[in-house]
Structure 1
Amino acid sequence: MLRGIVRYCRFHNPWILYREPPFYRRPPYHEQPQSPLSLTGLRQRGFDGIITFAANEEQIKAFIPPGFPSVILPIEEKTPGYCSIVEKANTVGKVAAEHFLDRGFTRFAFCGYDHMFWSRIRQEGFVRRVAQAGYRVDVYESRGVPDPLTWETEQVSMADWLQGLPKSVGLMACNDDRAQQVVEAVKAAKIRVPEEIAILGVDDDDMICELTHPPLSSVALNFEEAGYEAAAQLDRQIARGRPSRKEIHLRPTHVHTRQSTDVLAVEDPVVARALRFIRGHAGDMLSVDDVVEAASTSRRLLERHFKDVVGASVYQEIQRARVERACRMLAETNWPLGEIAARCGFSNTVHFGVAFKRHMHQTPQQHRRRASQPNP
């Protein structure tokens, strides 16, 4: 998000930016201070506006003067009446659920923070999409503020919960930090990742995801563009001399698949072999006959098994895997469509565009703009 703020400043009137490192803030965000925060007296100190985290409305009123230009990233509760950065309801959880459903999972779990509203929103989206598919979600009930557990204590209770989950299970954590804790608790419980529990985080923080073992899959969000829009909204408030109530929407762009969910929860060995081959060769000019040969069966038998287990034909699954690969490339690279089409096994951009729109209900160009442009 900071990268987006800096990008806005680079192309507009330059700002003098002050960033307060989070670890200098005392006491913790969830405790109401007895003395003023270090950011009180904003106008007296020469500040023109602020983009900040805030636990709740009470904390906002403690250090932001009425009418002061501000953009809030709320933590514990929504902050109506302020310009805020929030997620569109159900979108992140829906993407996470579909990531597991596409891999054949029928057992699901969620681990978040009960006292943080954004975590509850992600949980609701996940539970709703899983329920639409005819399944249920086991939810970890944590003890939060005002009676927080130390991680040493919570790790024990979380490990007990994880051991009691049915296997194999697809587990969504509310963010990458929580997912990293789940991985540590899984190790303490001697459970294999991803074979017994596949773990998916949110935010796609490269540092956390790559340092975690195994590397952590994560739902990527449009943080940079939200930061850009936050800076633009703050600039407008400063210029007009009045606050705004606009919501800036965080939204998922794609799932960055790493080892923690690189598994297929499919008991049918024929279908599992075929799916593994399709995922491993999604960038090739793959045909149904290639998949039949890799699965060591007949085309008729494979198609019947696919219909029963996956609910789609082999060709449809090939196209779906190609489009999923293309979504990542559209969001993460500036490659032209022709190159992406070739790298995803399409013979030309026309075939690529038709298949993409059939699966995503938008064109590749629209998907790229949505992943890279600020909120409208």
Structure 2
Amino acid sequence: MKPQGNRAAAKVTARKRRQGPPVVAILMETSRSFGRGVIRGISNYARAHTTWNFYIQPGDFEQRLPPSDIWTIDAAIGRIANAALANELQKRNIPVVCLEPGPYPGPRWVTNNTRELCRLAFEHLRQRGFKRFAFYGTGTYWGNARGQHFGQLVQEAGLSCEVFAPAHQPQHDAQLQLAAWLDKLAKPVGLFAQDDLSGREAIDACRYAGVAVPQDVAVIGVDNDELVCDISLPSLSSVELNCPRIGYEAARILDGLMHNKEPESPVQVDPIGVVARHSTDIVGVEDPVVADAIRFIRERVNKPISVEDILDHVCVSRRTLEMRFEKIVGRPPHEELQRIRLQRAREMLINTDLKLTTIVRQVGFSSIQYMHRIFKRELGITPVEFRRKNRAYGA
């Protein structure tokens, strides 16, 4: 009789809960920085614009909904990673905002800009002079998408990309296969891992195989999970995603769906940028003049240096440097300077409260007006508009 009493009490509780604010299920992995960042953005939206109760289950990807006679779920936001959860959401016929590729058949209203995050990883490796590239994934939906986009970018540059994405198998066997694959790769090579945990696995496998990181294999991941990146040896470079904005936009769209307002179009959220650490701290360029020029740019990009300063350092003619630099890096030196400065300015606008005058000085732009022109030309908005757009979600 006791279980029946508990069940009856649960139903009474569910009816009482139904009288309160709507219940939104957050189906995100709380064990990873991506999930926690998205949840922060969802919470920020709800706190500012509405009142929701949240159902959330601590853990990793294997999320599930609670029994319907205990929790009345009115809507859901999540990274739907398994078919059982996708089927259950369809049965309940509730508004759902699904993040990232996966088995849920509904529209992806909010996603990472997968091609852009892959482009950042590719450019980060390419600017270090790598001509060989590889991708390591573990077969997840979003990992496969990242592998496809990265491979396309490499191919569009006229280069080739090796891929290792094994089927699900015991961890020890997979690690041994990864080590064997890394050992056989032509080197030096720039490796893009689908996320930071995979990046750390790649670094560990390199150590097992006796492959030097970053001298033989430079590794970059995704998420900028600081704990994972910092405990890697060497520390792991990573593409930082704008997770709070993803969560904020997902909550905003879900709020509209709950009021029968379908959004005009899906939202793609751009990544913030690359956080460089020791796993890619190398210039993989055989041309000594170009390698020296790249090192000079990296070490002094925060100063108001010009192409003339680079020429004085490497002691070759402008035409010689531009031809050799563009052949290897894919752009002339002045464009590389501008690209790095723009990327650092973007990161500082999002991650700091520094004034524009301070940012201009620290990234090496000649003036606020010049930085304004670069932002308008490259991004279509001013630095102030860029900061307002990207900072509101994680405040």
When residues 373 and 65 of structure 1 are mapped into structure 2, their CA distance, relative to the original with a 3 A threshold, is farther
Q: What CA distance in whole angstroms lies between the structure 2 residues aligned with 1:326 and 1:88?
A: 20
Q: What CA distance in whole angstroms lies between the structure 2 residues aligned with 1:303 and 1:236?
A: 52
Q: What CA distance in whole angstroms lies between the structure 1 residues aligned with 2:342 and 2:193?
A: 25
Q: What CA distance in whole angstroms lies between the structure 1 residues aligned with 2:54 and 2:314?
A: 58
Matched, 1:327 2:353: no
Question: Which of 51, 57, 71 is the matching residue for 1:45?
Answer: 71
Report deviation, 1:194: 1.3
Matched, 1:137 2:175: no
For residues 82-139 of structure 1, give each alpha carbon's deviation from its aligned partner in whole angstroms, at most 9, with x where no partner exists: 565433453322222222222221100001123x221121111111111111001000
Matched, 1:337 2:361: no
Report deviation, 1:369: 4.9
Unaligned stretches of 5+ in structure 1?
A: 30-36
For residues 211-244 of structure 1, give each alpha carbon's deviation from its aligned partner in whole angstroms, at most 9, with x where no partner exists: 212121111222101111222233334444x998
Report deviation, 1:308: 4.3
The residue aligned with 1:281 is: 300
Q: For structure 1, which segment, 158-167 or 334-343, has the greater mean C-alpha deviation from structure 2 after superposition?
A: 334-343
Q: What CA distance in whole angstroms lies between the structure 2 residues aligned with 1:19 and 1:239?
A: 22
Q: What CA distance in whole angstroms lies between the structure 1 residues aligned with 2:233 and 2:49?
A: 41
Q: What CA distance in whole angstroms lies between the structure 2 residues aligned with 1:363 and 1:285?
A: 21
| 8 Å Cα contact 1:82/1:245 also seen in 2 | no
**Corresponding letter in the other structure for 2:46:** C
| 8 Å Cα contact 2:126/2:329 also seen in 1 | no
Report deviation, 1:347: 2.4
**What secondary structure sits across from 1:263 in the alignment?**
coil
The residue aligned with 1:149 is: 169
Matched, 1:70 2:96: yes
When residues 303 and 231 of structure 1 are mapped into structure 2, their CA distance, relative to the original with a 3 A threshold, is closer
When residues 57 and 157 of structure 1 are mapped into structure 2, their CA distance, relative to the original with a 3 A threshold, is closer
| 8 Å Cα contact 1:91/1:125 also seen in 2 | no
**What secondary structure sits across from 1:68 in the alignment?**
coil
Q: What CA distance in whole angstroms lies between the structure 2 residues aligned with 1:363 and 1:131?
A: 33
Report deviation, 1:343: 0.9
**What secondary structure sits across from 2:159 in the alignment?**
coil
Question: Which of 118, 124, 130 is the matching residue for 2:142?
Answer: 118
When residues 316 and 246 of structure 1 are mapped into structure 2, their CA distance, relative to the original with a 3 A threshold, is closer
Matched, 1:209 2:236: no
When residues 190 and 14 of structure 1 are mapped into structure 2, their CA distance, relative to the original with a 3 A threshold, is same
Matched, 1:16 2:53: yes
Q: What CA distance in whole angstroms lies between the structure 1 residues aligned with 2:43 and 2:219?
A: 32
The residue aligned with 1:182 is: 202
For residues 40-94 of structure 1, give each alpha carbon's deviation from its aligned partner in whole angstroms, at most 9, with x where no partner exists: 31x652443332332345432236643223333456x352335654334533222
**Corresponding letter in the other structure for 2:292:** R
The residue aligned with 2:85 is: 59
Q: What CA distance in whole angstroms lies between the structure 2 residues aligned with 1:184 and 1:96?
A: 20
| 8 Å Cα contact 1:222/1:250 also seen in 2 | yes
**Corresponding letter in the other structure for 1:364:** P
**What secondary structure sits across from 1:350 in the alignment?**
helix
Q: What CA distance in whole angstroms lies between the structure 2 residues aligned with 1:184 and 1:270?
A: 33
The residue aligned with 1:90 is: 115
When residues 50 and 304 of structure 1 are mapped into structure 2, their CA distance, relative to the original with a 3 A threshold, is closer
| 8 Å Cα contact 1:218/1:257 also seen in 2 | yes
| 8 Å Cα contact 2:112/2:270 also seen in 1 | yes
| 8 Å Cα contact 2:132/2:189 also seen in 1 | yes
| 8 Å Cα contact 1:5/1:228 also seen in 2 | yes
| 8 Å Cα contact 2:133/2:162 also seen in 1 | yes
For residues 133-178 of structure 1, give each alpha carbon's deviation from its aligned partner in whole angstroms, at most 9, with x where no partner exists: 10010000311xxxx2222111110000001111111111111111
Matched, 1:251 2:270: yes
For residues 304-344 of structure 1, give each alpha carbon's deviation from its aligned partner in whole angstroms, at most 9, with x where no partner exists: 54344335443333333322322321232232322211111
Q: How many correspondences in the alignment?
A: 356
Question: Which of 127, 151, 161 is the matching residue for 1:102?
Answer: 127
**What secondary structure sits across from 1:252 in the alignment?**
coil
When residues 340 and 128 of structure 1 are mapped into structure 2, their CA distance, relative to the original with a 3 A threshold, is same
**Corresponding letter in the other structure for 2:285:** V
Q: What CA distance in whole angstroms lies between the structure 2 residues aligned with 1:250 and 1:71?
A: 14
| 8 Å Cα contact 2:118/2:146 also seen in 1 | yes
**What secondary structure sits across from 1:22 in the alignment?**
coil
**Corresponding letter in the other structure for 2:367:** N
Q: Give the aligned CA root-mean-square deviation in angstroms.
A: 2.9
Q: What CA distance in whole angstroms lies between the structure 2 residues aligned with 1:253 and 1:296?
A: 35
Report deviation, 1:273: 1.3
Q: What CA distance in whole angstroms lies between the structure 2 residues aligned with 1:246 and 1:299?
A: 47
When residues 180 and 292 of structure 1 are mapped into structure 2, their CA distance, relative to the original with a 3 A threshold, is same
